[in-house]
Structure 1
Amino acid sequence: MNKQLIMTTATGAALLLTACGGSNVKTNAAGLPQLGAATGASLASCAELATKINFANTTITGANAIAAGTLTVAGKPVPAHCQVTGQMYKRTSTVDGKSYAIGFEMRLPNNWNGRFFYQANGGVDGSVVPATGPVGGGGPLDNALNQGFAVISADAGHGAPTPFFGLDPQARLDYGYQAVGKLTPMAKYIIETAYGKKPDRSYIGGCSNGGRHTMVAAARYADQYDGFLVGNPGYRLPLAAIANIAGAKAYNSLATTPGDLSTGFTLAERKLVSDAVLAKCDELDGTADGLVQNTQACQAAFDLNRDVPTCSASRDGTCLSAAQKTTIGGLFAGATTATGTKIYSSFSYDAGLATGGWASWKFNSSLNLDTGAVGLIWQAPPEDLATFNGPNFALNGDLASMLAKVGATNATYTESALSFMLPPNPSDLSALRNRGAKIMVYHGASDPIFSSDDTTAWYNALRTANGGDASNFSRYFNVPGMNHCAGGPTADQFDMLAPLVEWVERGKAPDSVLASVRGAGNAGGVNADLPANWTATRTRPLCPYPKTAKYKGGGSIEDAANFSCES
């Protein structure tokens, strides 16, 4: 019997005992277990931890007292804490001869709130960044460490943010999911050693690949965490990367300067499309405010061929050529192989196309970051490192071959990328649900690399798997205008960790999350993508899907209080 089945069975038994009066397990209004609130403790000693910690396959390299104010968040001093550094499973690869280990750091507050936060990092990992704990969005005003959580950050099993580790089969698996599985019990042991008790509640969260890590944990390690905070998840990351490579080919075919993909869809042309989307969809929420709140309705209302002028002569930024409409429209509908096989997902038309962040992912990352990941980390076998060239791989490689190879295995690479990178059975989160855990997901509608359409499709499948409504343990929040994790013409500054804690530990489900823009003077950093006619302090409610924010019909459109979440 596997661990997930044991846990589910045990939870069912606990619920049965509750119904018979044989246990003090509490249930909420939905009939699911209601987890209790965490209680805090004080750190006895930082310096002694280095000698007290004794965990299998783990080497502690330091335990350092960090004074209050050494770290800051939004200009505020983070309280005093202990930084513990170390490595797990140090080894030398028998495949590429390189040295590998899972590097990590933990930050343990002197005044601990009784909670643990696993910081799932982005990109291809490879760096032990400060363990502060993201709370969501751009320009954060707070973090988990500042709120009193004990936080871990790790490099996911390789020591550089490059794709070369993909030659080692075990490093692939650690990056995909095994590092989380190995680090989690070790981190809880360190917490127990430091405070004299295990964490009462455990949370995991991150954005981008960190969102993928978190979704994988929700499927594989539901027994280890009580709250999951998922941002812009690339939960089908290998497929999204191949789709972005398909985009590179497409934009290059339109480019007036071959090799410069941005000339295939210029800034003026991207602004033209964004403005056309706003003209058709902005007022669907009851007011013209530069935000498309109802993303789903907009896809039905907007038509690229009809609503954007077609060039009768040369391209000049006021129109799209017929070839552009066919090619770009095809990418938004969902990139395909030469034989028509859909690679990944459709993308939503939204107002955030005319930004540097959108362009960077489409025109630069597709030639470099995505190619290295597909060719070296996910393909079986990987490309020859000695001759590999990212742009050449993107512009001249065969999409169908890439798709086949990321799903392939061989004697050396015995688990495919579509297995080690993706959550197994992503719409079956019954183990998470049945033990009283909760998951909150957010995704920017203008994300250029991981499609919010893909996340919406996942959430609809989750709803279907739960009788049409999964809101008693999961909530999904679309963020209008937001690019990849932050930026774009959007209200992208929000804290989703605090409401997740309220939901997990006190049963208060988040009916909306307050988001603000990052205008001039913002303590978390200014968002350069904001339109000039927005106030610097605009706020909006982020609504749980399928609800969207609608203007109430009166009051300032700069104030979230004048919007409500409606179906």
Structure 2
Amino acid sequence: MRISSVAALSTLLIFAPVSALVPAKFINDCTNFATGFENENTEVLSSTYVLKGAVIPLPDSCSLTVTSRANFCRVKLNVTTSSSSRVIMEAWLPTNWNNKGKRLLMTGTAGWGGCLIFEDMAWTSGLGFAAIGHDSGHVGVVATGFTNPEVWKDWVYRSVLVATQAGKAATNHFYKTSLSKSYYMGCSSGGRHALKLAQDYPDEYDGILAAAPAVYWPNLEVAEAIIARTVGAEGSPTYLTQAQWEAVDAATMAQCDGIDGVIDGILENPARCDFHPETLLCGPGQTWLLNGCLTVAQIQTVKKLYSPVYSNGGRYIYPGLVPGGLPSQGIILKYGPSAGAGPRDFLRYVVKNNPSYDLSQFNLDTADEMVDNDWSGVHSNKSDLGGLQASGNKLLLYHGLADVLIPPAVSYEYYNSVSLNMSLTSSGLDPFFRFFPISGLGHCARGKGANYVGGPQQVQYFPGAADNVPAGNSALMSLVKWVERGQAPETMRAYKLGLLGETLGQKDHCKYPLRTTYKGHGNPNNKGSWECT
């Protein structure tokens, strides 16, 4: 193992206003972390003691800052994955680890990766986990490095695997004892990594929390490319502004909100919403500015986006966007001026290896090419979880039903494919795989419902939640209770939060295939007004 000069010089502490007394030995062990540490192809870049309350800047402009929630040793590692690729990772090792269950928690990345999600690391290290994060094999949120197939392999699967192994080694080395349980949590592309682990490396984690997983990745990129082409550039006849999408959402609610038995601005089962956007169609001489209506071209845009995506010969590719979630995050606007950055980059740097490729060149033959190739296993859709079942480890999946970036239908499709492939009913899957649809939750976070469940990529969007919401009710700790106490979750507790993280309502979302059903009376923000049917 190599020890960098940075590690040798890393004795500077990051000070905070207040901190509990910490044993000098802990600080000394942190400063000298590199001494005796061995892990294949791993270099210690730095080891720094951080006080609770310290403000930590995030690297590479991935975000602004995060405040530490524990006294911990911050270890930064470089893991070489090939002659032309590497993974930068960190381990945040808190002082109270030994009396908090000796647990490790790997945090996932987002989008094209390149950024450690420090907010999740701060939250979970504050709960006593040895919190691990990695950059998925490249720096920043861009995909240009994927022209190197080794960097692409890191993003697809290898980064999380080597970070897992190095993170476990670092934890065991620092505390001079073996960790007890290991957990993974990730949303979106981090959720895709979660499924990849469950499918191909089921022995690595005792518990895996997958949120809104980007399963069927090439299919997702095809769908986004077609959406980008459908919506068009800002100002084109097919384009809708944010205000117009809000009108579409209002019309959706007017038609469908009452289907679940209560008018609360939330679609409990969006699949039952047969939305007809023609109610917004402009009549002769009418305009958006004067009448708040849409043109025929705009109505066609809405209808196409709400419909499944097909390729040549009617081949099914991907579900349409979910009703009831379009304006909640403003995501749809990215299909205008920045037209389809995700599929464009996938095509430029992986599929075509041509940095000048533009979506104007995209056609259905290209769509078939994207879907038909393996791309180092990026689909992450294997439906045989026999290895996970045999290991005794657990997979907990949830997906927001107002997610417009990754439609929740894909999680239903994946769950049902596992059921069919393994010839197991839901009761047969329950011992190792459970799925919770969360109404009113957008992509990973945000949305209009009771949507804070205490999972990946949530604490940064809900200021105060880490202090005001009981961590024991979180999705993460529900997974811990399932793994360590055998308390399998039947519902997933969610909170509707105010601007300061105060609780405005609660709801217990039911395990699929049961449905969260309004009892017909009571405040819909009260969890007692709902039941599983």
Shorter chain as normaliser: what TM range?
0.7 to 0.9
What is the deviation of 1:516? 1.6
Helix, strand or coil at the partner of 1:124: coil
**Residue 474 of structure 1, aligned match among 433, 444, 453:** 433
- Counterpart contact for 1:131–1:153, Cα < 8 Å: no
What is the deviation of 1:173? 0.7
Q: Which moved more, 1:220-229 or 1:177-186?
A: 177-186
Helix, strand or coil at the partner of 1:537: strand
Aligned pairs for 1:370-449 (under 5 A) are 370-376=343-349, 378-379=350-351, 381-383=352-354, 385=355, 387-388=356-357, 393-405=358-370, 407-408=372-373, 416-417=374-375, 419-423=376-380, 425=382, 427-449=383-405
Distance 1:447 1:497 in 2: 20
What is the deviation of 1:197? 2.3
Partner residue of 2:506?
Answer: 539
Helix, strand or coil at the partner of 2:90: strand
Partner residue of 1:304?
Answer: 276
What is the deviation of 1:220? 1.1
TM-score normalised per structure 1: 0.77
Q: Would the alpha carbon gap of residues 481 and 358 (structure 1) be closer, same or farther in structure 2, given more than 3 Å must change? A: farther
Partner residue of 1:61?
Answer: 45
Q: Would the alpha carbon gap of residues 509 and 280 (structure 1) be closer, same or farther in structure 2, given more than 3 Å must change? A: farther
What is the deviation of 1:428? 1.3
What is the deviation of 1:256? 7.6
Partner residue of 1:562?
Answer: 529
Q: Does 1:46 align with 2:30?
A: yes
Q: Does 1:336 align with 2:301?
A: no
- Counterpart contact for 1:282–1:288, Cα < 8 Å: yes
Q: Would the alpha carbon gap of residues 201 and 466 (structure 1) be closer, same or farther in structure 2, given more than 3 Å must change? A: farther
Distance 2:92 2:173 in 1: 14
Q: Would the alpha carbon gap of residues 315 and 222 (structure 1) be closer, same or farther in structure 2, given more than 3 Å must change? A: farther
Partner residue of 1:289?
Answer: 264
- Please list the CA deviations of residues 128-163 of structure 1 after superposition, one character each: whole Å capped at 9, or x if unmatched: 443744xxxxxxxx8321111111111111233211
Distance 1:90 1:256 in 2: 42
- Counterpart contact for 1:108–1:149, Cα < 8 Å: yes
Q: Would the alpha carbon gap of residues 309 and 287 (structure 1) be closer, same or farther in structure 2, given more than 3 Å must change? A: same
Q: Does 1:257 align with 2:230?
A: no
- Please list the CA deviations of residues 328-361 of structure 1 after superposition, one character each: whole Å capped at 9, or x if unmatched: 3233222234654433223332x22223433244
- Please list the CA deviations of residues 42-68 of structure 1 after superposition, one character each: whole Å capped at 9, or x if unmatched: 968212212121111110011111112
Distance 2:223 2:67 in 1: 41
**Residue 78 of structure 1, aligned match among 62, 69, 81:** 69
- Counterpart contact for 1:304–1:325, Cα < 8 Å: no
Distance 1:340 1:424 in 2: 21
**Residue 518 of structure 1, aligned match among 497, 501, 508:** 497
Distance 1:520 1:189 in 2: 40
1:499 aligned partner, one-letter code: S
Q: Which has the higher contact order (CA 8 A, sep 6+)?
A: 1
What is the deviation of 1:215? 0.9
Helix, strand or coil at the partner of 2:310: coil
Q: Would the alpha carbon gap of residues 424 and 487 (structure 1) be closer, same or farther in structure 2, given more than 3 Å must change? A: closer
**Residue 255 of structure 2, aligned match among 280, 284, 296:** 280
TM-score normalised per structure 2: 0.81
Q: Would the alpha carbon gap of residues 394 and 283 (structure 1) be closer, same or farther in structure 2, given more than 3 Å must change? A: same
- Counterpart contact for 2:262–2:518, Cα < 8 Å: yes
Distance 2:292 2:345 in 1: 36
Partner residue of 2:175?
Answer: 195
- Please list the CA deviations of residues 25-53 of structure 1 after superposition, one character each: whole Å capped at 9, or x if unmatched: xxxxxxxxxxxxxxxxx968212212121
Distance 1:366 1:108 in 2: 41
What is the deviation of 1:248? 1.1
What is the deviation of 1:214? 0.8
What is the deviation of 1:320? 4.1
- Counterpart contact for 1:552–1:562, Cα < 8 Å: yes
Partner residue of 2:198?
Answer: 218
1:511 aligned partner, one-letter code: E
Helix, strand or coil at the partner of 1:455: helix
- Counterpart contact for 2:246–2:326, Cα < 8 Å: yes
- Please list the CA deviations of residues 218-246 of structure 1 after superposition, one character each: whole Å capped at 9, or x if unmatched: 11110111111111111122221221111
What is the deviation of 1:446? 2.2
Helix, strand or coil at the partner of 1:446: coil
Structure 2 unpaired stretches of 5+ = 1-24, 57-64, 455-474
Helix, strand or coil at the partner of 1:185: helix
What is the deviation of 1:494? 1.6
Q: Which moved more, 1:539-548 or 1:186-195?
A: 539-548
Partner residue of 2:515?
Answer: 548
- Please list the CA deviations of residues 52-94 of structure 1 after superposition, one character each: whole Å capped at 9, or x if unmatched: 211111100111111122269x99861211111010116653x
What is the deviation of 1:420? 2.4
2:247 aligned partner, one-letter code: L
Helix, strand or coil at the partner of 2:186: strand
What is the deviation of 1:327? 4.0
Structure 1 unpaired stretches of 5+ = 1-41, 94-99, 134-141, 409-415, 524-535
Distance 1:540 1:546 in 2: 17
Partner residue of 2:470?
Answer: none
What is the deviation of 1:405? 4.6
- Please list the CA deviations of residues 151-181 of structure 1 after superposition, one character each: whole Å capped at 9, or x if unmatched: 1111111233211111111111111001122
Partner residue of 1:460?
Answer: 416
- Please list the CA deviations of residues 491-547 of structure 1 after superposition, one character each: whole Å capped at 9, or x if unmatched: 221221010111111111112122122323326xxxxxxxxxxxx712222222222
Partner residue of 1:345?
Answer: 319
Q: Would the alpha carbon gap of residues 497 and 365 (structure 1) be closer, same or farther in structure 2, given more than 3 Å must change? A: farther
How many residue pairs were aligned?
A: 471
**Residue 165 of structure 1, aligned match among 142, 145, 164:** 145
Q: Would the alpha carbon gap of residues 401 and 202 (structure 1) be closer, same or farther in structure 2, given more than 3 Å must change? A: same
Partner residue of 2:112?
Answer: 124
Q: Percent identity?
A: 26
Q: Would the alpha carbon gap of residues 77 and 268 (structure 1) be closer, same or farther in structure 2, given more than 3 Å must change? A: closer
Q: Would the alpha carbon gap of residues 62 and 356 (structure 1) be closer, same or farther in structure 2, given more than 3 Å must change? A: same
Q: Would the alpha carbon gap of residues 76 and 291 (structure 1) be closer, same or farther in structure 2, given more than 3 Å must change? A: same
**Residue 105 of structure 1, aligned match among 90, 112, 137:** 90
1:208 aligned partner, one-letter code: S
Distance 1:428 1:91 in 2: 30
Helix, strand or coil at the partner of 2:226: helix
- Counterpart contact for 1:357–1:483, Cα < 8 Å: no
Partner residue of 1:183?
Answer: 163
Helix, strand or coil at the partner of 2:123: coil
What is the deviation of 1:216? 0.8
Helix, strand or coil at the partner of 2:88: strand
Helix, strand or coil at the partner of 2:31: coil
Helix, strand or coil at the partner of 2:125: coil
Q: Which moved more, 1:287-296 or 1:104-113?
A: 287-296
- Counterpart contact for 1:358–1:483, Cα < 8 Å: no
Distance 2:506 2:206 in 1: 29
Distance 2:348 2:66 in 1: 41
